[in-house]
Structure 1
Amino acid sequence: MAYLSAARKGATIFGGLYAAAILAVMIPYIQTQCVQVYLLNNTRPHPTLVLWYALHDLFPLNQLVLVLQFLHALKIPLFSDYNTPEKYGLAPNKTANLKISTADGELLGAWFILADQFYHSLPSHSAPPVEHVGAALKARPTVLFFHGNAGTRAFGARIQHYTTFSSRLSANVLAIDYRGYGDSTGTPSEVGLARDARAAWNWLIDNGALASDILIVGHSLGTGVSSLLSAELSDEEIAPKGVVLLSPFSSISKVVETYSMLGIFPLLRPLASIPRATEFLMKRLIHKFDTDKLVPRMKGQIIIAHAGECGSRHPGTGSQDRPTENDWDIPYTHSEALFTAFLDPHLPQMIALPPHLASLSQEQWSEFTSRAAERREAREALVSTTEIPKFGTLHKFNDGKRTVTHVQTLHGGHDYVGIQEGVSDIIGQTFGFF
């Protein structure tokens, strides 16, 4: 007991110092003073610190937080030539480079990629692809794709998504760079990205697409954007073909809480011993992207896909074994949480326990365990689970109005779960591409 007490005390002290350090470096004055001391005591200071000090007054902390959350300054590939998508592997005259205007005056860079089936039906490929947009939208469904943070629409992993959608699904693809990304104007924000998504949607409709022919697909940060657009459209009783969330998060705050550097070192774990320290930091997040809170507003068919090496525990079954992590950026538990959020309204609601379990009566405990058993049985009856050898596990339920599907793959990591043929086939079968 003495050892545990000492360990607890040590963890508390360490957590306190860690929290104090985090809070301290959030204060511009302390940042400046620390760097000044370093520069004065080092005849050959690191060039990065010298540059940081020189730019500090021009780059306030709130701007630093913005950059770290969206990583829009990482314009990878560098010096991208958006007018020449062929440079990044797309077929000649298959992709139109566009500019899309938003409601608040920003100009978004975008690519419209013709579906393979339509592209190969053309008598020649000499005409600019922009001339075929209207006909392509009428001929084949379209994937409206929202990418993750960092990089641009020319990033290699994103190109692979476009080619997968245009070939495997034979769908047109509209891919945008949000404000502040690529060659788009403006500065990113949660509200701004939602406006960008609606501008892209409106562009498709204005050019002749039917809402029922547009599949909204988001990856990583793009799942938050996709969910915002889906909720907005549902509020207006507009029904797209459906929504696909690839490597999604339940909320940005939960990502920060669960993030581990290199998949090993939990970023905020040292703060756990300090009451309300993590909560305090979470409240400082400006752009929250609370996808889990949007679930009640999202209508229509939904697919959630995430990489996590499958164990015997699956959403909706109540089994306790844990899968192995395959996504080092966003844990698969975020997808489980979202699937459960869609499922929850169709299950018996749990009884709230009192704040102090010591005051729990035998009658309350019996009622709680009984309700938990009812809920588990209801989940098992509603959710179908299919093991697909060497690929992963498929969970789905139908509430009478729509099907919600959770695909948990063995492979794919964070960036490539969506380009797996198995995932594409599930998308194609669910949304009628085949």
Structure 2
Amino acid sequence: MENNNKKAKKNKKRSSENPTTKNPNNNNNNNNKTKNNNDQKTNNNNDTKNNNDKKNNNNKTKNNNDKKNSKNNNNNNSASKKTTNLKKSSKTKFGIFCQGLFWCGASVAFVYALIPFIFWYFPEMCTFMIFSNRFRWPPLGQLTKPSEHGLNHTRNFYVNPRRNIQIGVWHVLPQNLADSNLGYSEYEQSLSEHKSPVVLYMHGNTGTRAGWHRIEMYKLFSALNYHTITFDYRGYAESTGVPSEDGVVEDAQFLFSWIKQRVSSDTPVILWGHSLGTGVATQLAKNLCNQGTCPTTLVLEAPFTNIVNATYHHPFLIPFNIFKDLKLKLTSFVRRSGVEFASDESISSVTCPIMILHAEDDFLIPIALGKKLYDVGVETRPKDSGPIKFVPFKAVHGYGHKHIHKAPELPGILSSFVQTCVEKGF
């Protein structure tokens, strides 16, 4: 017993002297605690790392969002700038347009305000506007080469009505002679050898004998097997001189005589005038009838009664419609130019058959003027005169002032009228 107690005391003493000495269970517990602590540290580190990663991700996301927002803001800013610039540009363009429109209107108003003074102080300007011979269309193209204008069977030549006046002329062959390969020297001979009708064509103001609608009319005559003699009055195209009423009528009369010298006595010769050319043709027909050498027939396409009435109804003077008295005064100034082309007076002396062609939608010379000229002819011509015929063309066709050549019935109307005139001995 005593020994056991001594051992116990010794062990107790040793344990108290060696406090670091542990029993196995305690060591295990301590190890577990240490391990748990390490695990907790590891977990804490992992959590910290995860938190840091999350923060980094959040920062990246935030940076990306900031970049996107910045980009979107830049896009929005650029879009808004573009919109603003477009608005400013459209406003600027609209402002420029309005300014241009204003100045154009002011210029036109200024010109129209000057017209009464121009007509009064410069009557020669009225003459220039009536003939408009310097307005050439087409501007290019050789009149010496009719083939460039689609007329392959056509001769260009020149005649001299006066010593110092030279006018350009085309002779278009009828279709039945187009393939005969005639030399230029044989063109005149064909006039006497073949008794085909001959058309002396007098064109309107502006342009030349090469005007497109005029060429289409020549082709129509050729298809009917008619010769066509067409020319440019003095002062037009390459023809020399200055146009005047008596001068252009003299040119036409010279060519009529030229034709009559080369055709047989029974060859029909037709005078055809268009627009201003109707004034020339009517006065020429009057002169010829008074001399006893009437043409076979007179055809007037889009005619007027006289220059004063034609001027009054011209679209150029439409703005003066609100000032009727001023418009009448303006048109009276035209008389001072010395140009009248008074067809309503001349027609009373024309005893040959007359046919008047006019489109209802003619905006330059209203059909009412053509109808009035017809009425004057019916009332004032001698009783033994040839027939007078008025042929209107419906507005729905859109022939206007210079495209009656498009009417499919025109060849039949013309050939029938000419044939009737020939059969009745006119």
TM bracket (short chain): 0.5 to 0.7
Work out which of the residue numbers 333, 336, 356 in structure 2 matches 1:284: 336
Percent identical pairs in the alignment equals 25
- Partner amino acid for 1:160? E
Between structures 1 and 2, the one with greater helix share: 2
Alignment partners' CA distance in 1, 2:111 and 2:135: 29
Quote the residue 1:188 is aligned against: 243
Q: How does 1:10-409 map to 2 (within 5 A)?
A: 22-26=115-119, 61-91=122-152, 94-103=153-162, 105-120=164-179, 122=180, 125=181, 127-139=182-194, 140-167=196-223, 169-210=224-265, 212-261=267-316, 266-273=318-325, 277-278=329-330, 280-308=332-360, 326-345=361-380, 401-409=385-393
Contact 1:302 1:403 in 2 (8 A): yes
Alignment partners' CA distance in 2, 1:268 and 1:19: 9
CA offset at residue 278 of structure 1?
4.6
- Partner amino acid for 2:128? V
Contact 1:102 1:195 in 2 (8 A): yes
CA offset at residue 331 of structure 1?
0.2
Contact 2:159 2:169 in 1 (8 A): yes
Quote the residue 2:410 is aligned against: 423
Higher relative contact order (CA 8 A, sep 6+): 1
Alignment partners' CA distance in 2, 1:150 and 1:276: 25
How many residue pairs end up in the alignment?
308
Which stretch has the larger CA shift, 109-118 or 96-105? 96-105
Quote the residue 1:48 is aligned against: none
Higher-Rg structure is: 2
CA offset at residue 281 of structure 1?
2.5
CA offset at residue 419 of structure 1?
4.5
Contact 1:146 1:218 in 2 (8 A): yes
Contact 1:114 1:173 in 2 (8 A): yes
Contact 1:178 1:188 in 2 (8 A): yes
Alignment partners' CA distance in 2, 1:103 and 1:27: 32
Contact 1:256 1:267 in 2 (8 A): no
Alignment partners' CA distance in 1, 2:114 and 2:244: 27
Alignment partners' CA distance in 2, 1:253 and 1:399: 28
CA offset at residue 399 of structure 1?
5.4
Alignment partners' CA distance in 1, 2:219 and 2:307: 29
Gaps of 5+ in 1: 1-16, 29-60, 309-325, 347-397
Alignment partners' CA distance in 1, 2:327 and 2:126: 24
Q: TM-score, normalised by structure 1?
A: 0.66
CA offset at residue 154 of structure 1?
1.1
CA offset at residue 337 of structure 1?
0.7
Contact 1:253 1:285 in 2 (8 A): no
Gaps of 5+ in 2: 1-109
Alignment partners' CA distance in 1, 2:264 and 2:206: 29
Alignment partners' CA distance in 2, 1:145 and 1:72: 17
Alignment partners' CA distance in 2, 1:421 and 1:20: 44
Alignment partners' CA distance in 2, 1:274 and 1:183: 38
- Cα displacement string for residues 262-285 of structure 1 (whole angstroms, at most 9, x for unaligned residues): xxx725423314596356434334
- SS of residue in 2 equivalent to 1:226: helix
CA offset at residue 89 of structure 1?
0.7
The change in CA–CA distance for 1:400 and 1:281 in structure 2 (over 3 A counts) is closer
Contact 1:148 1:219 in 2 (8 A): yes
CA offset at residue 137 of structure 1?
4.2
